[in-house]
Amino acid sequence: MGYTRRFQQLKNRLAELESHFLPPIKVSGNYTKKELDNTRAFCVLTHAEIEAFFEDVAIFKTDTAIKSWVNSGKKKINLIVFHLATYCDKAPATKSVTPINLVHISHSNYQRSIRSNNGIKQNNLDLLFGKIGYEVDTTLASTLDSFGVQRGEIAHTSIKTHQPLDPQSEKNRITLIITGLQAFVTDFALYH
C-alpha cells in the first residue's frame, strides 16, 4: 500500500468531496439551506475519510513491522514490535506466555482496537499510535481534535443546535489538515 500512495488516495477523495459538496464561495456569506447542509455533509464525510486513512496506515505500519521481525527470525526487535509487546493488554495470565506469543497477542489486540476506533480526536490518535510508540505532531493533533469535536456535534445533535458552517472556513481547515498529514506521512514512514 505505501504511505504516499494511500495519502494520494486520501487527497483525491477529499478533492472529490469538496467538488461534490462545497458550494462556490460567496463573499456575502449568504448560503442556502441546501448549501449549508452540503457543507455539513462535507465535514462528516471528510472526517470519515481521514479516520480511515489513519487506521489504514496504522495497520500497514504494524503489519510491516511484524513481518520484518518474523523475517529476521524473531531476533531483531524493532521499535513497533517492542512497543506492541510493552503495551500488551488482555494477554493470558499464564507462565506459558512467551515473549514471541506476547507480540502476536499484542498485534491481534492492537488490530482489534483499530477496528473499533471511532474518530480522529486526541484519544483516538493515542489509541492508534501511542501503543506503537508514535506521537502525532501536537499542532496536527489539536487541529484534528477540533475537527473531530465539530464532526461529533454535526453527527450527533439536531440542526437546531448548530452554528452554520462557513464553506470557506471548512475548505481552509481541510487544506491545513492535508498539509499536516503530508508532514505526518513523511515522519511516520521513517518511524521503525
Residue 10: predicted pLDDT:
98
Under 8 Å between Cβ of 181 and 144? no
Say what the pLDDT of residue 153 is: 87
pLDDT at 89: 62
State residue 2's pLDDT score: 74
Give the pLDDT of residue 100.
Answer: 79
The whole-angstrom distance between residue 64's C-alpha and the CA centroid of its chain comes to 18
C-alpha cell read off for 72: 529476521
pLDDT at 98 over 80: no
From CA 168, how far away is CA 163, in angstroms rounded? 15
E strand or H helix at 83, and its extent? helix 79-86
Say if residue 124's pLDDT is above 90. Answer: yes
Whether 10 and 181 have beta carbons less than 8 Å apart is answered as yes
Q: How many CB atoms lie within 10 A of CB 86?
A: 12
Domain boundaries, the chain: 3-190
pLDDT at 161: 67
Percent of the chain at pLDDT > 70 equals 93
Q: Mean of the pLDDT values across residues 99-124? A: 90
Q: What is the pLDDT of residue 1?
A: 57
